Amino acid sequence: MADQPRPGVRPKKRARDRLIRLASLHPDYVLGFLDEVWWSRFAQPALHAWSPTDQPLRLVEQTVAQEEDSDPKALACYGLLRADREQVWLRFVDGRPVSALTTQFLAWCLARLAQEGKRALLLVWDNAGWHVSKAVRAWIRAQNREVKRTGQGVRLIACYLPTKSPWLNNIEPHWMHSKRHVVEPDRLLSARELIDRICAYFGCAHEPHLSIPEQVA
C-alpha cells in the first residue's frame, strides 16, 4: 500500500519531487514518466458497472483456435508521459522490452524534444532490469557527455523509483484507463486492430516498431 513505509520509498519520492520542481522552473526542461506495458488480446481488464443483482456484468476471456490466429497473444510497448502536455508517446516493440530497445526509445524521445528546442528530459521510471542495466546507464552517460561537449541535444536526468511503487509513476493510470477504453467484449481483436485502437485513444501515430537488428553473418 502507498501509505505503508518501505525502505527506499521516501528518498526516491523526494528525488522524484525534486525533478518535478526543477521542471517547473525551466521551460526548456521536460518532466517525463516512462514505463512499459503489455496489451493482451485475450485477457480482459477489470471493469465496474451498475447491473441487476441477478445479471452481473462479466467480460469473457476471448479464445480462438491456434491454427486460425498467427498474431501474438500480447503486444508490448514503451510509453512516455510528458507532464507539460499530459501527452503520451508510444512505441510498440517486436518481442519484449530489453536494454537495446530501451536506448532506441530514449533516443527517439530525445530527438523529438531536440526538435522543440528542449534542453533536458527529467525522467522518472522504475528500476526494471532493462532500465538499470550497464548498457542503458552507459548510453545515458555517453548522451550527456556528447551534449556537454557539443552544446547541442538534450540531456537526460533519470530518477529510479523503488520496487513496487506504481503510485509514484504518473503514467500508470493512463495504462489502466486505456485498457478499459479499447476493450472489445464480443470478439477477438487482431493485433493491428488493437494497435489502431490504442493509438486512437492516445492520439498518436502508429510509429514503426522498435526491434533489434538481426546480426549480419
**Positive/negative CA dihedral, 115, 116, 122, 124:** negative
Establish if 54 belongs to a structural domain: no
Establish if 151 belongs to a structural domain: yes
Establish if 63 belongs to a structural domain: no
Establish if 110 belongs to a structural domain: yes
Establish if 210 belongs to a structural domain: no
Establish if 50 belongs to a structural domain: no
Instruction: Say what the pLDDT of residue 65 is.
Output: 47
> What are the cell numbers at 56?
452481473
Domain region containing 139: 9-40+71-202
Establish if 217 belongs to a structural domain: no
Q: What CA dihedral angle connects 8, 32, 205 and 182, to 10 degrees?
A: 40
Task: For residue range 44-80, list pLDDT tens digits in order.
Answer: 766 554 556 555 555 555 555 455 778 999 999 999 9
CB-based contacts of 217, cutoff 8 Å, min separation 6: none
Q: What is the CATH number of the domain that holds 76?
A: 3.30.420.10
pTM for this predicted structure: 0.84
Q: What are phi and psi of 131, to 5 degrees?
A: -100, -35
Instruction: Say what the pLDDT of residue 2 is.
Output: 46
Number of separate domains in the chain: 1
Task: For residue range 77-105, list pLDDT tens digits in order.
Answer: 999 999 999 999 999 999 999 999 999 99
Establish if 97 belongs to a structural domain: yes
Task: For residue range 164-179, list pLDDT tens digits in order.
Answer: 888 999 999 999 999 9
Task: For residue range 15-48, list pLDDT tens digits in order.
Answer: 899 999 999 999 999 999 999 999 999 877 665 5
